Amino acid sequence: MNEITVIVPSFGHARYIAQTLESLLQQTRPASQIIVIDDHSPDRTDLAVAPYLDRIRYLQSPYRQGVGASVWRGVDMVETEYTYLIASDDWIEPRALEVLARFLDKDPHIGVVHGARTVVEDGGTRLSRSPIEGPYRLLDHAFDNDFVYAHPVILWRTQALRHDCRFRRFSLSLDWAHWIAAGLDGWDGYATHEMLGYYRRHASNTSRWTLPIVAEQSSLLRFVRRHFSQQLGSENQAKLRMALHQRIRLQGWLDLSEGRRRRAHRRFEAVLKFPDQRWNTILGLSAANMPTPWYRWLRGKRRAWLDRT
C-alpha cells in the first residue's frame, strides 16, 4: 500500500489546529507522517500542538516566510508516494484519505484527486464541489473560472508536485500553480462528489480577493502564456486569455475600490477590445470616469461585495 505524508502549513491558527490534527490522526487509512510547519506564528501555536508531539513532526520557522515557503519546505521533505496538504484551520472526515487514495492506487496516470467539501462560515454552511465528476485531463480545466480547487480534500501523487521549479515563485496563487504545472506535465485528475472535508472561512483567511493575489494570478497566466503556449492547444489558449482578462478586470475593480481611478481606467481600457465580458469592462470604464458622488456610492457598493466574497 502506497504511503501518505501530510503537510500542515500553519500561521496564527492556534485555536483551530487541534481539530485539524485530531481529524488527521483518526483516519481509517493513517498517514505515515504528519508534518506541521509553523510559519513563525505569534499566537503560541507551539503550545497548541504540544499534546501531539509524540505523533507528529513539528517545525518552526525562525521568521515569517509565507505559506508558499512552508508548503515547499514540506513537499521537499516528502519521501512517500502520496502527499496531502491541509491548512491548519480545516479538518476532514475519518475516511477522507482512504477514499482519495483509492483513486490514485487504481490509476497511475492520475496526479491529483479531490472530493466535495463543506464550507463553514459565520452565516452557516454550504456544500462545495467540482462541476465535473470522474477522471479528466488537468490541463483541459486548469483555466476554467468555475473550477473548484477543493481544499482541504485534495490528495496529490508526490511526483505530480515535483514540477518545473519556476512555478514556486507564485506563492500567493500556489494551489492554482500546482494545478497548471501538473497539467502541463501531462497528469490527469479525478473528482469525486463524496463530501470528505470542511473548509473554514473566517476573517484571517489569506484566500480572499486582494490586489496582490489577483496581480500574482495575472503574472502566473502571463508566465504560462509566454513559456508554454504551444503545449496548450487552441481551446486552452482561449481559456487562458479569458482567465487573464478576468483578472485584469478584477484588478480594475479592486483599484476602484481603493480610489485608484486612473489605474483602473488603464486596466479596463486594456481589455476593452476583447469580446468576453465586455459589459463588465464598459461598466468599469464608466465607473472610473463617472462624477465623483456617483463614483463614491458605487465604490462603497463594490467594497461591500468584496468583503462578502
Give tens-digit pLDDT for 70-123: 999 999 999 999 999 999 999 999 999 999 999 999 999 999 999 999 999 877
pLDDT in tens, 187-229: 999 999 999 999 998 766 655 668 898 999 999 999 999 999 9
| Mean pLDDT computed over every residue of the chain | 89
Instruction: Read off the pLDDT of each residue in 290-306 and give the average, rounded to a whole number.
Output: 64
Statement to judge: residues 116 and 177 lie in one domain: yes
**Residue 135 near residue 115 (C-beta atoms within 8 A):** no
User: CA 169, CA 69: separation in Å to the nearest integer?
Assistant: 9
Instruction: Read off the pLDDT of each residue in 126-134 and give the average, rounded to a whole number.
Output: 86
Percent over 90 (pLDDT), the chain: 63
Statement to judge: residues 37 and 93 lie in one domain: yes
Q: Which of 145, 173, 200 is the last residue of a domain?
A: 200
Q: Which of 200, 224, 241 is the last residue of a domain?
A: 200
Q: Please state the pTM of the whole predicted model.
A: 0.88
User: CA 265, CA 257: separation in Å to the nearest integer?
Assistant: 13
Amino acid 292: pLDDT: 66
Within 10 A of 141 (CB to CB), how many other CB atoms are there? 20
**Residue 33 near residue 97 (C-beta atoms within 8 A):** no
Radius of gyration of the chain (CA): 20
Amino acid 294: pLDDT: 62
The range of the structural domain enclosing residue 275 comes to: 211-308
Report the domain count for the chain: 2
50 sits in which H/E element: none
Q: In the chain, what is the straight-line distance between the N-terminal and C-terminal CA atoms, in Å?
A: 41
Residue 21 inside a domain? The answer is: yes
pLDDT at 148 over 60: no
In the chain, the amino acid numbered 116 is A
Residue 165 inside a domain? The answer is: yes
Within 10 A of 309 (CB to CB), how many other CB atoms are there? 6
Statement to judge: residues 66 and 116 lie in one domain: yes
Statement to judge: residues 229 and 288 lie in one domain: yes
pLDDT at 17 over 90: yes
Statement to judge: residues 302 and 180 lie in one domain: no
DSSP 96-130: HHHHHHHHHHH-TTEEEEEEEEEEEETTEEEEE--
Q: Where are the beta strands (DSSP E) in the chain?
A: 4-10, 33-38, 57-60, 82-85, 91-92, 110-121, 124-128, 134-137, 154-157, 188-200
Percent over 70 (pLDDT), the chain: 90
Q: Tell me the CA distances in angstroms from 132 to 2, 129, 187, 206, 250, one per residue in order.
A: 26, 8, 17, 26, 26
C-alpha cell at 150: 477543493
pLDDT at 288 over 90: no
Within 10 A of 60 (CB to CB), how many other CB atoms are there? 14
Amino acid 66: pLDDT: 86
Q: What band does 307 get if pLDDT is binned at 50, 70 and 90?
A: low
pLDDT in tens, 238-268: 999 999 999 999 999 888 888 888 999 999 9
Q: Which of 200, 220, 254 is the last residue of a domain?
A: 200
Q: Which of 56-60, 74-78, 131-135, 293-297 has the lowest mean pLDDT?
A: 293-297
Statement to judge: residues 254 and 111 lie in one domain: no
61 sits in which H/E element: none
